[in-house]
Amino acid sequence: MRTVADVIERYLSCMTAHDWDGMAACLADDFTRVGPYGDTYESKPEYVAFIADLMPRLPGYSMEVTRVTYAGDFAVAELSETVEVEGRPHRTPEALVFDLDPAGLIIRVEVFIQTLGVEPRNLP
C-alpha cells in the first residue's frame, strides 16, 4: 500500500528527473493544479502536457526540497526552485500544498511563492 509520503516524494522526484509518465502516475484522473498566479489546469492530461513542455525549457533549473509535512491525506512541501534569468541564477522559495484522494493519488496541488526583493507596502 502506498503512503502519502511515497506519492509526494515520487511526484517531486519525477518532476526533477523529467519523468512525466512517473509524475502522471502520482495524479488522480480528476486532478487540478492551481499555480502561483491563479493559473489553473483542471485535468491531468492538460497539466502533464504543460509541465512536460515547460520544465525542459527552463535554463539552469534545479529544485531543492527543504521539508515535507504530512497530515492524513494532506501534505505541504517547502522548496525552492532555481532558474537562470539573464545568465544569473534566480531562486524562488515556494510551498506546494497537496491533497490526496481516497486512492492515495494527488487530486489537487496549489503553488505558493515568495516574492523576494519586493518591499512590503506601508501598513496602517
* 88 lies in some domain: yes
pLDDT tens digits along 82-120: 999 999 999 999 999 999 999 999 999 999 998 766 555
What is the side-by-side strand order in the sheet with 88-100? 40-41, 27-34, 106-113, 88-100, 74-85, 62-71
Higher pLDDT: 114 or 32? It is 32
Ranking 49-53, 67-71, 83-87, 117-121 by mean pLDDT, the lowest is 117-121
Provide the domain count of the chain.
Answer: 1
* Single pTM value for the model: 0.88
Strands 62-71, 27-34: pairing is unpaired
CATH number reported for the structural domain that contains residue 61 in this entry:
3.10.450.50
Domain that residue 16 falls in: 4-113
* 122 lies in some domain: no
Report the amino acid identity of residue 4.
Answer: V
| Count of C-beta atoms within a 10 Å radius of residue 58 | 12
DSSP 38: S
- CB 80 within 8 Å of CB 64: yes
Percent of the chain with pLDDT over 90: 85
* 124 lies in some domain: no
* 55 lies in some domain: yes
The pLDDT mean for the chain works out to 91
